[in-house]
Structure 1
């Protein structure tokens, strides 16, 4: 049983990833019509997979540049969140706040949202910084950088 639990944890930790969006400038040959152009002050990361004690360290992979004003975390592929991962998110929020960076969450699923509500995380970040989809989150990010 213990071995099965360890194998499960290992497998889940391999499934959880954090990927940053690629940023290119107008002169880059890779630019085409399907890439969305964003101001440099907005950084977007997509988290995929369950966030629990075995995978909370992936949140540390989120890097913000000196010119970042708003960080968008796209969580549409995060089915579950536990208190250890929530603590890692709280640490990220504190680091960002100390640097003057606002975090906007996009498409947080039901289970993670319930954990965040119960822990008071939504009040910490601000309800207005939880958006239903990436378009709304990017609109919110644009508002933040222009204020």
Structure 2
């Protein structure tokens, strides 16, 4: 889901619940990697690449309200992105995110603005590592 308006929850009969569509899901799932769900049997699932997940978290953090539970979620989004960026630095993988960042910036002014705003919310130490994000 992309765009400006919030979509109503979608009914998922097989799960007997409703779910809110995730914004920018197409971007998030464009590239995935396999991961194991730890259980008795173990299951392989597809998850977003860490680079896409970090950028997605920075973008969605800018769309949350600045008070209450939503503000706490925005803080958590930024913290998760910061943790990944720091891990990229430790593992010398900051360059891996460059292609994702170029793609994000090509998606338009709104994407660039959200990315810049999200990046500005990162701790200074992490912003210094993530100069390609700006």
**TM-score where L is the length of structure 2:** 0.39
Q: Return the structure number with greater strand share.
A: 1
Higher relative contact order (CA 8 A, sep 6+): 1
Q: Return the structure number with greater helix share.
A: 2
